[in-house]
Structure 1
């Protein structure tokens, strides 16, 4: 018996060590992409120049202007939005036990889009009003899906099907709002709907950063309840988990994150869908992955933004690149999930 106990403890230690190492490496990759995004541009800078300006080690007015005033806001937007998308995506996927259960795929982002576009087109909203309305829209959409999908418990597959229907309805509402808008408001709304990390204002970005600092530790604390829910409702109740309250918290938290991320950058597609499975493959068989998925989402969005701005012949919104890369991934994921019996 001591030998078995020692082996179990050794296995847990190895898994914990792998989780820490993989998460740390992904964090370094995300930070490297963050720095690189401020190095490239019409004026190329060295990594030392960027780091010196960021941490105020060196003082050069020209470099400080390029780094702090011109490039840091967009890089910070890509970092925080990508992190929020990665965290929200992996929470949804783990809770519903389905790799297709990303917030942007099941209607949460569409709900945020409807509210934000309504604010822009109907009420002429700006500043903090747009992110506030986006969060409300995401919450309303999530509650609607939860009510429609709940039948003596919540089935991940049923939730996804309901979410796809809600998403189609919300997209129709967005189209109707655009047809009723004047040309200026319609252009502004269409630019926002494509998704671009360069359109965030300082107020919206600051709100997202504060919410991330507040909610990511909560998400990490909820990992224990999440692992219990993955065993099924009956076993989770046997382990002392208040199933419906835990599920409500685990849905509400990513909904708030996706609503704010959508308000800051528009509905960036596929990052939330991709980040969780990539992080899970790197962590396997270690459990968890909230931070790892967040760092993966941040790195993916930073690199997609660099491609959109500097690699393509014409500068494009970030959402165009994530959509072009994410669509083939979605087709591959659907085919793989069906072969493995996960896709329903």
Structure 2
């Protein structure tokens, strides 16, 4: 066999491995999520073995397990998976658009904007589930529009670095606004808003999961339809235009979908930190694939939030921490690592 034939066979084998690694990584994430989910459903004061959890889900569990698993633990788990998936997809979109690992809704202010809308509703209208959701979505969309328009000034196009810098400034202003609103509120209203601001899955039930799923399904479908344009835009605006992509329209469309995902997730669980920042790099590491990796990022986000919520329930048991405390601790360590690694690369 000639050297050219050997090289050709090696190239085909490498390309096949490259193509199959993404689905295999997705299956790995899905399997890990399933194992964590079964363990989480069986963990608590009413302990269950994995076999008993599976039997309960099939309608044949031990006495009392049906209520504990199906009414208390399962909706909380599913809400966490859906929120994590939404944040993972949103983070993948923004990191692809900005071509920067810091380009996540946490950093560019969209999560804080959703939080500001939710706080305003809680303090002014009392904070029912529907009104908080409406305020969070409205605040996220308004913040995204303001950041995009400010980033376009002077250039006619919102570039990645501009979006991040403007978003950081907008986030700082909105944080100050949130602090001011809390300082002016009554004790009970401020307490309620502060608890929501941390980000929590406590007391989440089927009444939260059903509207959350109804909002995420069309947004996820739209993102899947737009992912080809997003993948091409990663090559640069000029290349994308040469390949027939209407860059400004496509960018606005995927940004609107990603902001919607962020706002809906924030409306349900509060501003859960750092999932959108850490899930896409994890998905990229596992798939070894360029592009947004939207589906893998969704699975990674669901897995990270589920694990974080499990740790939040068990680390200081019987005290249950808000999941935002745990994601903030883990995400802060990751952010420091990311900044340290980038500083080392720059110094060389």
Give the TM interval when normalised to the shorter protein: over 0.9
The answer for the alignment partner of 2:27 in structure 1 is: 24
Gaps of 5+ in 2: none
1:109 & 1:162 partners in 2: Cα distance?
A: 14
CA distance in 2, matches of 1:5, 1:230: 29
Q: CA deviation at 1:321?
A: 1.0
Q: Report Cα offsets for 1:59-110 as digits up to 9, x if no partner.
A: 5441101101121121112111111111111111111100001101210011
Q: Tell me, in whole angstroms, the C-alpha distance in 1 between the residues paired with 2:207 and 2:250.
A: 31
State the match for 2:336 in structure 1: 331
8 Å contact from structure 1 (residues 194, 268) kept in 2: yes
Instruction: Provide the secondary structure at the position in 2 that maps to 1:315.
Output: coil
> Contact 2:312 / 2:320 at 8 angstroms: preserved in 1?
yes
Which of 73, 95, 98 is matched with 2:97 structurally?
95
Match of 2:113 among 101, 108, 111: 111
Write the distance in 1 (CA, Å) between the matches of 2:9 and 2:49: 50
More deviation in 139-148 or 301-310?
301-310
| 2:312 corresponds to 1:308 | yes
Structure 1 unaligned segments of length 5 or more: list them: none
1:321 is matched with 326
**In structure 2, do the counterparts of structure 1 residues 246 and 4 end up closer, same or farther at CA, with 3 Å as the change threshold?**
farther
Q: Which digits, 9 at most, give the CA deviation of each residue in 1:133-164, with x for residues without a partner?
A: 11111010001000011123221111111001
Residue of structure 1 in register with 2:197 after alignment? 193
User: Which residue is equivalent to 1:244?
Assistant: 248
Given the two structures, how large is their TM-score scaled by the length of structure 1?
A: 0.93
Q: What is the CA–CA distance in structure 1 between the aligned matches of 2:217 and 2:287, rounded to whole Å?
A: 23
Structure 2 partner of 1:277: 281
Distance across 2 between alignment mates of 1:336 and 1:205:
38
How many correspondences in the alignment? 341
- Following superposition, the deviation at residue 180 of structure 1 comes to 1.9
Q: Do the aligned partners of 1:201 and 1:264 also contact (CA within 8 Å) in 2?
A: no
CA contact (8 A) 1:18 1:286 kept: no
Q: Is the 1:19–1:286 contact (alpha carbons within 8 Å) kept by the matching residues of 2?
A: no
Match of 1:67 in 2: 69
Q: Is the alpha carbon distance of 1:155 and 1:5 closer, same or farther for their aligned partners in structure 2, counting shifts above 3 Å?
A: farther
In 1, the alpha carbon distance for the partners of 2:67 and 2:16 equals 47
Distance 1:265 1:113 in 2: 10
CA distance in 2, matches of 1:33, 1:282: 18
Alignment of 1:132-143 (within 5 A): 132-143=134-145
Asked whether the equivalents of residues 196 and 266 of structure 1 are also in contact (C-alpha less than 8 Å), the reply is: yes
**More displaced 10-residue stretch of structure 1: 118-127 or 10-19:** 10-19
Asked whether the 8 Å contact 2:219–2:257 carries over to 1, the reply is yes
Write out aligned runs for 1:41-56 (5 A). 41-56=44-59
CA distance in 1, matches of 2:217, 2:7: 40
Structure 1 residue 18: deviation in Å?
A: 0.9
Question: 2:239 aligns to what?
Answer: 235
Rounded to whole Å, the distance in 2 between the matches of 1:40 and 1:123 is 37
Residue from 213, 223, 234 that aligns with 1:219: 223
Contact 2:273–2:331 (CA under 8 A) maintained in structure 1: yes
What does residue 86 of structure 1 align with?
A: 88
CA change 1:305–1:146 in 2 (3 A) is: same
| Match of residue 171 from structure 2 | 167
Aligned residues of 2:200 and 2:270 also touching (Cα < 8 A): yes
Distance 1:338 1:228, change over 3 A: farther
Would you say 1:125 and 2:127 are equivalent positions?
yes
Cα distance per residue 1:185-205 (max 9 Å; x no partner): 111000000111124354332
Superposed CA deviations along residues 306-325 of structure 1, whole A, max 9, x for unmatched, are: 11111225321111111111
Q: TM-score, normalised by structure 2?
A: 0.92
Pairwise CA RMSD = 2.2
Q: 1:256 pairs with 254, 257, 260, which one? A: 260
